[in-house]
Amino acid sequence: MKRMDEIPRSEAIRRAVDRLPAPPLTGDFTARTMARLQHAEARRQRNERLLRVLYGVLGTASLVALAVWAWWRESTTSPLGQLAAWWQELKEGWSLPQLEQHLPELRQITLPTPSDTGTPEMWILAGLLAAAGIVLLIADLLIRRWIASQRK
Amino acid sequence: MQQIEAQEEREREQELIRRILHGESDRYAELVDRYARMIQTLVARIIDRPEEAEEVTQDVFVKAFRQLGSFSGRSSFQTWIYRIACNTALSHARRTRRRNTLTGIDERRLGLLPDEEVERLEEWVAHERQLEALTRAVARLEADERALITLFYYEERSVSECAAILGLQENNVKVRLHRIRKKLYLLVMEETDGRDETHG
Q: Which DSSP state fits A119?
A: S
Res B7: pLDDT: 80
- Residue range A121-146: average pLDDT? 84
- ipTM of the prediction: 0.80
Please report which confidence band the pLDDT of residue B36 belongs to, taking 50, 70 and 90 as the band edges: very high
Q: Is A109 helix (H, G, I), strand (E, B) or coil?
A: coil
Residue A142 to chain B, least CA–CA distance (Å)? 20
Q: Is B200's pLDDT higher than 50?
A: no
Interface mutation target, options B46, B71, B135, chain A, most CBs of A under 10 Å: B135
Q: Is the CB of residue A29 less than 8 Å from the CB of residue B61?
A: no
- Residue range B118-146: average pLDDT? 82
Residues of A in contact with B35 (CB under 8 A): none
Question: Whose CA is closest to A28, among B40, B33, B147?
Answer: B33
- Residue range A31-57: average pLDDT? 88
Determine, for residues A25 and B37 on separate chains, whether the beta-carbon distance falls below 8 Å.
yes
Residues of A in contact with B57 (CB under 8 A): 25, 29
Locate the domains of chain A by residue range. Answer: 44-151
- Report d(CA B58, CA A56) in Å as an integer: 35
Q: Is B156 left (phi over 0), alpha (psi -120 to 50) or beta?
A: left
Q: Is the CB of residue B90 less than 8 Å from the CB of residue B142?
A: no
Res B89: pLDDT: 94
Please report which confidence band the pLDDT of residue A129 belongs to, taking 50, 70 and 90 as the band edges: confident
Q: Is the CB of residue B62 less than 8 Å from the CB of residue A33?
A: yes
Please check whether residue A16 touches B, CB under 8 A.
yes
Residue A144 to chain B, least CA–CA distance (Å)? 16
- Residue range B17-46: average pLDDT? 91
Res A2: pLDDT: 47
Q: Is the CB of residue B50 less than 8 Å from the CB of residue B150?
A: no
- Residue range B144-169: average pLDDT? 92
Please check whether residue B47 touches A, CB under 8 A.
no
- Min mean pLDDT across A27-36, B57-66, B108-117 is at B108-117
Q: Is B107's pLDDT higher than 90?
A: no
Mean pLDDT of chain B: 84
3-state percent helix, strand, coil for chain A, nearest multiple of 5: 80, 0, 20
Q: Is the CB of residue A112 less than 8 Å from the CB of residue A80?
A: yes
DSSP state string for A129-150: HHHHHHHHHHHHHHHHHHHHHH
Which residues of chain B from 83 to 142 reach within 8 Å of chain A, CB to CB?
115, 119, 121-122, 124-125, 131-132, 134-135, 137-139
The residue count of chain B comes to 200
Please check whether residue B40 touches A, CB under 8 A.
yes
Q: Is B183 helix (H, G, I), strand (E, B) or coil?
A: helix
Among A4, A10, A37, the residue with its CB nearest the CB of B122 is A10
Q: Is the CB of residue B152 less than 8 Å from the CB of residue B159?
A: yes
Higher pLDDT, A118 or A33: A33
- Report d(CA A53, CA B28) in Å as an integer: 31
Q: Is A88's pLDDT higher than 90?
A: no
Please check whether residue A148 touches B, CB under 8 A.
no
Give per-residue pLDDT as tens, A92-116. Answer: 765 555 555 555 555 566 666 655 5
- Domains of chain B (ranges; CATH) run 2-95 (1.10.1740.10), 103-199 (1.10.10.10)
